[in-house]
Structure 1
Amino acid sequence: MPARSGPAVEPYDFRRPTTLAREHSRVLELALETFARQWGTQLTAKVRVVSQVTCEQIIMETYDEYASSLPATTAMILCNLEGMDARAVIQFPATAALTWVSYMLGSNAAQVVPERKFTQIEQALVRRLFDDALEDLRYSLGPLLETAISIDTIQYNSQFAQAAATADLMIVATFAIRVGDSSTTATLAIPAPALLPQLGQSAVLAATGNTRDQVASQLGWVPVEVALSLNPVFVKPSRVLGLAVGDLLTIPHPQHRPLNLTVDGETLARAAVGANGARLACVVVEATDSTTERANQ
């Protein structure tokens, strides 16, 4: 007998009901992988040390979720998007940027420095690095980013750098950066309204209008443990601790009454003990009122 095939299952995150469709996520992956390669080439040319950048993940989340995932102290370049109040963010450890600056100034080895704000000279060099990175980003996204983007300010506290409203959706990409022997992680967050229209707004967001039906359909295929039980008896802990072989406990379950068919302790039906070939089985003889009500909903 062929195995019964269930419906296609898609993960559903109740904390983030709005997600990128798979095909549009793939479009962004291709564009940002191109950006990562160009960014790595640009870093190699600027710091004069072999560098590599790879795009590791792309998700859509609120700005509040994004900011909460960042270290409290970190470098954040806020970028203006023409015609939009929300700003894009390029985030990276300040220590990593200071290492890149030391290479740019002629150092032959990575410098170990504490996390701190940039000096005026360091800030100028970092801005120069990321001006070029933004050029690569514009080229890689092409028609996906129709809005002009430019560097505004550099912030160092992720909780105070308000690039967008807390509920604004951001498309967040995570990059692994390797410069010489040192590695670090950077993130790029772009307000979703800057990219969604070019991806196809109507198809980008997962449908949420029939969320109840989708959840009900998914739950219908979740395995649950079904038990056949007698009515419970309540006894004091002292009685339980004093139980010994041969003791008798009276169960308040009439002999003529069927057993309780339960799921997670909730009685759904009454059933009589039976057999199916060489195996024990139960025959449902009565459905409880709550079961009937749920079936009619």
Structure 2
Amino acid sequence: MQKRVTKAIFPVAGLGTRFLPATKSVPKEIMTLVDRPLIQYAIDEARAAGIKEFIFVTSRGKSALEDYFDIAPELERTLRKKGKLDMLEELKSTNMESGAIAYIRQHKALGLGHAVWCARRLVANEPFAVILPDDVIAAETPCLQQMVEAHEETGGCMVAAMEVPKDKASSYGVIDIKEDFGSMVSVKGLVEKPAADEAPSNLAIIGRYILTPRIMQNLNKIKSGSGGEVQLTDAIDAELKSGHDVFGYRFRGQRFDCGSKAGFLQATVAFGLARDDLRGEFDTYLRELMSMHQAAQ
């Protein structure tokens, strides 16, 4: 029986330069998608998957993240006094128990692999998840929950995967497929950001991972790879070379790249239309906007 995954690493040390000037003072992970910050979607997904320990790899200027998950006694008293109990209940979802979150600094921006490696002492000898908050996934069953359930059967390392156009493969880590089982593939190799004509498939890795503690040992040995950074995919590929199992999991859901402005806007529209309290007015506005745009053409 596989040991259950109860720890998750959230690499949130990036500067978010694609969202300047907003990210000059606001961490990208705190930017709101409808009415919740990106990090809240990641935390909610982790909780649904049974995660109990949350490890944030941060950097200078990210104190707003710590404040967000802290209790706000004055605000809670005000809401209670005014009888806004629904808002008070919503606020409770942002609170974390003492000791549930750990914060670790990544002092140099040396890549995703290095960010994960920074949490090595807290992971110890247990399997763990990695969640990239930039990748927001709308799914009936949260993506990491799907993966945790599949991982209980397979063990090993597992990466979330989705099909991408061949000409977009150079933006992702790409899976070299050994055997395809439908929702699951066994992995022969991983290639980080290959040239479009050299990609072994169009099955790309996106920001959800379940990894064995051996990954930390692999990261200890890896020097900088693609882009001058320590690549997590290189450490996973080392597992394959050592004869250990790695699987790609085709999750059920829609992924939005909220690390880009276009992706963030697309997610805002999709999540806005999914809300019962917003759908009617928002849908009407979008239809009117499209009509005006078509008329102008």
Band of TM-score, shorter chain: under 0.3
Larger Rg: 1
What is the TM-score when the length of structure 2 is the normalising length? 0.24
What is the TM-score when the length of structure 1 is the normalising length? 0.24
Which has a greater percent of helix? 2
Which has a greater percent of strand? 1
